[in-house]
């Protein structure tokens, strides 16, 4: 065991923090410089100091427990989460850098998921843009705001592939597809971290929840995941691998059992794959209380066992559970854990602190924070990115865009005027919702006199969320059935008086996200009943959907002429919806997740393997006897106010050698009357191989803008990266000399086809 050393590090060596905020570092230190500083620090640390760096303390106290101050003074925690106030960041930091023995700055972590002060669409919404620059830009602005306020580290991006819409956290990711998910994951890492870890105005990012959290049994949050290695490697890992390639500085392990070994204490996952295969050199944090939960999960005998096994598996930091803090030093003293193992984890965390420039600039500048948070340009960006996120699901007889000459509009529904529900499911700790609602957006566009509103009956979770306690403000009591009935009648009356009805319906913010799974996917509450009563009035009706997951909208799709998926569109959501409804902006988003017809179809995703009854077989028209088995709206679907024609699909060569790339091109023409965006999508299918391959897999996409009549040739490259897969038969990555189908088009049912042969 290393000898305790009480000397304080020389100031010059540490470039110790000064109370005044110094200039941020403007170029990254070299690996050798980082190592030298980490070595020097490590040499000064007691075992207890080291364990402190592996412990993340909660900045809020649970059940009257004391705050983290005392522990910080002793060097008992290296990181703090769940604080979100500049003054408090600075006060806690002062304890660490001025009162603790080694003066190692704290790393402040927070969930900055789709915005900090300026709120952008929820991640599934941003992924619907099929434009990675949307995610990148939102993350960049969120980073600038959060870093100015004093946050160093965001627990984002959430890159879990989710193929089961019942799972509430589908809202937080990029949907069902590994290829799209990988592009969105890398974009967010670039946006949060910037050109290098420690770049000014950026944050440390965290790819979570490693891995396969989205495959929870039955879509029930936290339930165990049973997943084959094939599916892990081909479907659930790619966005994580992409985040690692993009240089993400940290990973968060998932809570649940992964094939019976909790992800947070799974050495195959955290050591073999993450570090061994992918060469990840950052650190891994548990999910909140996750290390203590290893006992609850009946995996570890007690806290001691949990700490030893989590650390041994490759977990570096214990989020909020105190399990490392309580047990690791004793485990080393007993010889059950080697100090070298602890050193390894401490090094990774200190290296990140050095790279982030925390030793030079531990404090946030309050005046600068106020200025950055008041920057109105960020709101304009929120509006633009929200516009790009919207998906036009249906538009019968061109009901949309609406005419500016409309005499009167009724805006109906429980989500029409709710700021919190417009901002979405991941609200930053302590944030007060300040979104423009759809009602406000429409009133701003048309003038208040023309826009009537009635919310209809309330919708609420039948089982309340434990997160409700964190939402500031009084909680309205449950609506009585009588009041609900009166609200229903009022909504129908309001609709009667208008020329056109805009129904804003879907799910409230607390109906998706963590601990927000559902067993049914219909519109909750009496919304469908109200929609039926409104449609029965015979007026044109537009349904604006807000929420965090694909819904089962069989009736709505058959009976409502126009449907716009707005997701939870963020701070400027109401303006963005109005922009799209009135055609100032032509919607160009596409679905990143399949919409089922009925709840019982879940999990439903386009990239399934085929059966012995081929797709579309007349013998076997549906796998359900009471209805079709296909999607209501397929993956990649999204309409525009214009139309696009695809032609001239060409491969540079019909045959290509293994390991060589081939280029694919297609002409896309705006064949309608207005300018618009199209997401050109390329899918492939390997016709035979050492293992069965999905009927289609996305392997290229590009969002382009075309004027009426304009044609653009769009090219993709299909090389070994796109053509390889992990074969369960070979138990390795393979690229095989086989025949492939290629389709290019507007969604995952694209018909324009070409053949490709890969040969030896």
Active site residues: 287
Stated length of the chain: 760
Q: How far is the CB of 462 from ligand NOJ (least distance, A)?
A: 22
- Closer Cβ to ligand NOJ, 106 or 288, answer by number: 288
Largest Cα separation within the chain, whole Å, is 83
Give the 3-state secondary structure of residue 703: strand
Nearer to ligand NOJ, 130 or 155 (CB): 155
- Between 140 and 221, name the residue whose CB sits nearer to ligand NOJ: 221
Question: Parallel, antiparallel, or unpaired for β 206-210 and 250-253?
Answer: parallel
Least spacing, CB of residue 454 vs ligand NOJ, in Å:
36
Distance of CA 316 to the CA centre of its chain: 23
Q: List binders of ligand NOJ among 152-191 (CB under 6 A).
A: 155
Nearer Cβ to ligand NOJ, position 417 or 514? 514
Q: How near is the Cβ of 280 to ligand NOJ at its closest, in Å?
A: 18
108 neighbors 80 (Cβ within 8 angstroms) = yes
User: Tokens standing for 553?
Assistant: 């909208």
Do 637 and 592 touch, CB atoms closer than 8 A?
no
* Token pair of 425 as six digits: 């499911």
Site residues for ligand NOJ, window 507-566 (CB under 6 A)? 514
| CA gap 590, 389 in Å, rounded | 8
Q: Which is nearer to ligand NOJ, 166 or 696 (CB)?
A: 166
Q: Least distance to ligand NOJ from the beta carbon of 287, Å?
A: 5
Q: Is the peptide bond before 758 cis (omega within 30 degrees of 0)?
A: no
Rg, C-alpha atoms of the chain: 27
Instruction: Please state the closest distance from residue 625 (CB atom) to ligand NOJ, in A.
Output: 39
Cβ–Cβ under 8 Å, residues 727 and 687: no
Please give the size of the binding site for ligand NOJ, defined by CB under 6 A.
6
Closest to ligand NOJ by CB, 225 or 535: 225
- C-beta of 153 vs 725, nearer to ligand NOJ: 153
User: Minimum distance between the CB of residue 188 and ligand NOJ, rounded to whole angstroms?
Assistant: 14
CB of 113 to ligand NOJ, least distance (A): 8
Q: Among 135, 208, 549, 637, which residue sits at the site for ligand NOJ (rule: CB under 6 A)?
A: 208
Closest to ligand NOJ by CB, 114 or 208: 208
Comparison of 214 and 596: residue with beta carbon closer to ligand NOJ? 214
Residues 6 or more apart whose Cβ sits within 8 Å of residue 722: 684, 699, 700
Element (H, E) at 656: strand 655-657
User: Pick from 44, 47, 57, 111: which binds ligand NOJ (CB under 6 A)?
Assistant: 111
Residue of 679, 702, 700, 696 lying closest to 741 (CA atoms):
696
End-to-end alpha-carbon separation of the chain, Å? 57
DSSP string, 128-144: TTT-HHHHHHHHHHHHH
256 vs 402, beta carbon nearer ligand NOJ: 256
Look-up of token digits 């993709």 = 716
Integer Cα distance of 344 and 351 in angstroms: 11
Q: How far is the CB of 411 from ligand NOJ (least distance, A)?
A: 34
| 324-333 contact pairs (CB < 8 A, 24+) | 324/51, 324/54, 324/55, 324/291, 325/51, 325/52, 325/55, 325/71, 325/76, 325/77, 327/303, 328/51, 328/54, 329/47, 329/48, 329/51, 330/304, 331/304, 331/307, 332/1, 332/47, 333/1, 333/47
Helix (H) or strand (E) holding 420: helix 419-423
User: Contact at 8 Å (CB) between 412 and 494?
Assistant: yes
Minimum distance of ligand NOJ from residue 112's CB (angstroms):
10
Cα 427 off chain centre by: 13
Contact status: 423 vs ligand NOJ (CB under 6 A): no
Least gap, CB of 514 to ligand NOJ (angstroms): 5
Report the alpha-carbon distance of residue 101 to residue 7 in Å, rounded: 8
Which positions from 280 through 299 interact with ligand NOJ, judged by CB under 6 A?
287-288
CA dist 325 and 331 (Å) reads 11
Name the site residues for ligand NOJ (rule: CB under 6 A). Answer: 111, 155, 208, 287-288, 514
């Amino acid at each position: 065991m290393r000898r305790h050393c009480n000397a304080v590090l020389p100031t010059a060596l540490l470039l110790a923090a000064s109370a005044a905020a110094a200039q941020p570092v403007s170029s990254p230190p070299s690996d050798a410089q980082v190592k030298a500083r980490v070595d020097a620090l490590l040499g000064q640390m007691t075992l207890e100091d080291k364990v402190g760096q592996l412990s993340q303390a909660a900045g809020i106290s649970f059940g009257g427990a004391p705050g983290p101050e005392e522990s910080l003074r002793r060097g008992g925690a290296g990181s703090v989460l769940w604080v979100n106030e500049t003054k408090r960041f600075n006060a806690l930091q002062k304890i660490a850098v001025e009162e603790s023995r080694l003066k190692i700055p704290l790393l402040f972590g927070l969930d900055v998921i789709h915005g900090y002060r300026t709120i952008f669409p929820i991640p599934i919404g941003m992924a619907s843009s099929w434009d990675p620059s949307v995610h990148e830009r939102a993350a960049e602005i969120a980073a600038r705001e959060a870093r100015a306020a004093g946050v160093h580290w965001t627990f984002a991006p959430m890159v879990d592939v989710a193929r089961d819409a019942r799972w509430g956290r589908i809202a937080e990711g990029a949907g069902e597809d590994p290829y799209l998910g990988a592009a969105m994951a890398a974009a967010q890492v670039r946006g949060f971290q910037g050109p290098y870890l420690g770049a000014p105005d950026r944050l440390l990012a965290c790819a979570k929840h490693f891995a396969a959290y989205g495959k929870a049994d039955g879509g029930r949050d936290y339930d165990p995941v049973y997943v084959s290695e094939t599916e892990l490697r081909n479907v659930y890992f790619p966005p994580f691998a992409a985040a690692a390639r993009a240089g993400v500085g940290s990973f968060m392990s998932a809570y649940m059992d992964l094939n019976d070994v909790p992800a947070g204490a799974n050495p195959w996952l955290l050591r073999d794959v993450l570090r061994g295969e992918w060469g990840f050199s950052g650190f891994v944090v548990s999910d909140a209380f996750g290390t203590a939960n290893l006992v609850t999960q009946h995996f570890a005998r007690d806290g001691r066992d949990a700490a030893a096994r989590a650390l041994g598996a490759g977990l570096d930091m214990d989020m909020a559970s105190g399990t490392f803090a309580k047990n690791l030093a004793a485990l080393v003293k007993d010889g059950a854990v080697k100090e070298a193992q602890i050193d390894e984890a401490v090094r990774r965390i200190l290296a990140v602190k050095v790279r982030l420039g925390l030793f030079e600039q531990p404090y946030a500048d309050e005046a600068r924070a106020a200025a950055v948070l008041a920057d109105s340009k960020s709101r304009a960006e929120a509006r633009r990115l929200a516009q790009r996120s919207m998906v036009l699901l249906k538009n019968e007889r061109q009901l949309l865009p609406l005419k500016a000459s409309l005499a009167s509009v009724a805006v109906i529904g429980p989500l029409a005027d709710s700021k919190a529900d417009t901002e979405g499911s991941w609200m930053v700790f302590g944030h007060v919702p300040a979104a423009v609602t759809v009602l406000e957006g429409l009133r701003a566009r048309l003038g208040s006199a023309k826009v009537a509103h009635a919310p209809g009956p309330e919708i609420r979770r039948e089982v309340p969320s434990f997160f409700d306690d964190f939402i500031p403000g009084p909680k309205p009591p449950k609506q009585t059935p009588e009041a609900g009935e009166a609200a229903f009648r009022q909504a129908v009356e309001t609709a009667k008086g208008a020329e056109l009805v805009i129904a804003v319906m879907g799910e409230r913010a607390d109906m998706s996200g963590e601990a927000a799974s559902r067993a049914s996917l219909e519109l909750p509450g009496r919304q469908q009943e109200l929609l039926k009563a409104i449609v029965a009035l015979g007026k044109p009706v537009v349904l604006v959907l807000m929420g965090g997951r694909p819904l089962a909208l069989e009736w709505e799709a058959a009976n409502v002429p126009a449907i716009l998926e707005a997701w939870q569109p963020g701070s400027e959501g109401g303006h963005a919806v109005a922009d799209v409804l009135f055609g100032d902006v032509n919607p160009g988003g596409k679905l990143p997740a399949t919409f089922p017809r009925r709840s019982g179809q879940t999990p439903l995703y386009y990239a399934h393997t085929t059966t012995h009854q081929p797709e579309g077989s007349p013998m076997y028209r549906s796998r359900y006897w009471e209805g079709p088995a296909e999607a209501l709206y397929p993956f990649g679907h999204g309409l525009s106010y214009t139309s696009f024609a695809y032609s001239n699909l060409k491969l540079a060569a019909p045959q290509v050698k293994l390991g060589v790339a081939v280029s694919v091109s297609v002409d896309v023409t705006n064949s309608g009357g207005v300018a618009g965006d199209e997401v050109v999508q390329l899918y492939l299918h390997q016709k035979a191989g050492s293992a069965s391959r999905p009927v289609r897999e996305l392997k290229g996409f590009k969002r382009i803008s075309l004027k009426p009549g304009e044609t653009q040739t769009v090219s993709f490259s299909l090389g070994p990266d796109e053509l390889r897969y992990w074969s369960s038969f070979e138990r390795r990555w393979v690229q095989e000399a086989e025949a492939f189908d290629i389709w290019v088009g507007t969604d995952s049912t694209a018909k324009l086809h070409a053949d490709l042969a890969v040969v030896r």
